[in-house]
A and B are shown apart, each in its own frame.
Chain A
C-alpha cells in the first residue's frame, strides 16, 4: 500500500464521518415534510414570519431547553423540522389566497395527508392535516387563512398532537398577533 492509498483511505474515513450528519439532516425526504416554497410563490411579498428550524439548529434548541423545560425538550427531541410561513393578507387578496390555499391542501390530500379538521366559514378557512407512516404520525400541517392573515405550519417528526397541544398551551399565543415588522426570519 502506497502513501497515496493510505492518504485516500484516511480521507475516506473522515469524509464518511463528516457526511453522515449531513445526510441525516436531509429532512426534505421525510414523509411528514411539506415544501412550503410552493405556497410562497403565491404571494407577491416575502412572508412576514418565516421559521425554519431543523437539523443541527433543532438539536441545539433541544439541548438549550432541556434544563429549563424537560417536557418541551422531550417533545422537540422527536421532531425533525419546524417550518412556519405567515403573511398579512389584504381584503382584496383574500379570495386569491384562499384559492391558492385550497390548491395547496388538495395537493396535501393527494400526497397521502389525512384531513383531521376542515373549517370553512365567513372570516376563516382552517385546515389541520396529519401524515402517518405506519402507526406513527410523521407530520402535522396547519393552514389558516383568515381576515388579515394567512399562516402555514409544518412540523415533521414523531408527533403526538395532544402532547404538542399541551406543551404549546404553556406559551404565549399573543406573540402570534404581536409579530414585529420583519418578523422572525431565517
Chain B
C-alpha cells in the first residue's frame, strides 16, 4: 500500500460532491464511469465510501444536552484552524476527524446506568448477580478468617502465654491474709 502525500484537491472535491449527493444523475453516471476507468480515482472513492460507512455504522448514544453545543463549537474552531493550514485542504478530513472526536467522546460518556469504559454487553444480569454474590462470599471469608485468627492469637498467644502467666505470678505475690 502506498500513500499519496500530495493531495489532489480536484479529485477530493469531486469525491466529496459525489458522496454528499450534490451531483445530478448524469454527472453521477459520468463520475462513476471515470472512477471505473481510473484506478487512482476508483481507489480514493472506495476508501472514502468505507470511511463514511464506518462512521455511519457507529452507535450514537444519547449525549447530555450541554455536551453537543460545546463539542460542536470546538469542532468548528478546529475546522477553522484546519482550513487555514495548507496541508489540511480536505473537507472530508476535517469532518471525519470532527465526527470521530464527537463519537469517541459520546461513547466514553456515561451511557445511562453504566460508567464510562464498561462494555455492558459482555455480561448478562445473571453474570453480574453471580459475581456480586461471589464477591460478598469472598469478603465474608476474609472477615471470617480475620475473626478466627484473631481468636487464635488472643486465646493462644495473649491469654495462654501472657495473661495467664502474669495472673499466676500476681496471685503468687499477693500477701497472705491468714492470721498468724
Interface pair B144/A176, CB less than 8 Å apart: yes
Interface pair A142/B141, CB less than 8 Å apart: yes
- From DSSP, what is the main secondary structure of chain A's interface residues? helix
- Chain B residues lying within 8 Å of A13, measured Cβ to Cβ, are 97, 100-101, 104
Per the bound structure, the CA–CA distance linking A61 and B96 in Å amounts to: 36
Question: Chain B nearest CB: distance from A151 CB in Å?
Answer: 7
A44 touches B (CB below 8 Å): no
Interface pair B137/A6, CB less than 8 Å apart: no
Q: Which of B90, B115, B144 contacts A59 (CB under 8 A)?
A: B115
Q: Name the residue among A2, A63, A119, A175 with the largest chain B CB count within 10 angstroms.
A: A2
**B1-42 near A? 1/0 per residue, CB < 8 Å:** 101110100001001000000000000000000000000000
Interface pair B134/A6, CB less than 8 Å apart: no
Per the bound structure, the CA–CA distance linking A102 and B47 in Å amounts to: 61
Interface pair B144/A63, CB less than 8 Å apart: no
A153 touches B (CB below 8 Å): yes
B170 touches A (CB below 8 Å): no
Interface size class of B (residues with CB under 8 A): 35 or more
- Chain B residues lying within 8 Å of A122, measured Cβ to Cβ, are none
Q: Name the residue among B50, B51, B88, B141 with the largest chain A CB count within 10 angstroms.
A: B141
Interface pair B123/A53, CB less than 8 Å apart: no
A76 touches B (CB below 8 Å): yes
A173-B146 contact in complex given A57-B128, A60-B128, A63-B114, C-beta closer than 8 Å? no
Interface pair B92/A64, CB less than 8 Å apart: no
A128 touches B (CB below 8 Å): yes
A3-B100 contact in complex given A61-B131, A61-B132, A153-B138, C-beta closer than 8 Å? no
Binding site for B on A (CB under 8 A): 1-7, 9-11, 13-14, 17, 20-21, 24, 51, 53, 56-61, 63-65, 72, 75-76, 82, 84, 117, 119, 121, 126, 128, 140, 142, 144, 151, 153, 155, 161, 164-169, 171-173, 175-176, 184, 186
Would you mind naming 11 contact pairs between A and B with Cβ atoms under 8 Å apart?
A3-B90, A5-B3, A10-B97, A13-B104, A14-B103, A56-B122, A64-B129, A84-B134, A84-B138, A84-B141, A186-B131
